[in-house]
């Protein structure tokens, strides 16, 4: 099973901040997740980023 890194916005109305994204990337790289790993995001009605997570890619 591959490790997933998930981050959620503290406030869904305003969405995630640049600091939230920075921490998420730092966490993912710290777990030796390949930087080419696809990500999945959930956005709000106005385009605010509500959640981001690493996504398992099919083996090639």
Percent pLDDT > 90 in the chain is: 82
Specify whether the CB–CB gap between 55 and 6 falls below 8 A: no
pTM for this model (two decimals): 0.81
Q: Is 8 helix (H, G, I), strand (E, B) or coil?
A: strand
Straight-line distance from the first to the last Cα atom of the chain, in angstroms, rounded to the nearest whole number? 16
pLDDT on residue 1: 47
* pLDDT mean across residues, the chain: 89
How many C-beta atoms lie closer than 10 Å to residue 3's C-beta? Answer: 12
pLDDT on residue 58: 52
């Amino acid at each position: 099973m591959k490790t997933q890194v998930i981050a959620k916005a503290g406030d869904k109305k305003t969405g995630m901040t640049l600091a939230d994204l920075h921490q998420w990337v730092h966490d993912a790289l710290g777990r030796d997740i390949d930087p080419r790993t696809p990500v999945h995001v959930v956005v709000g009605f106005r385009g605010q980023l509500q959640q981001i997570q690493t996504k398992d890619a099919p083996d090639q």
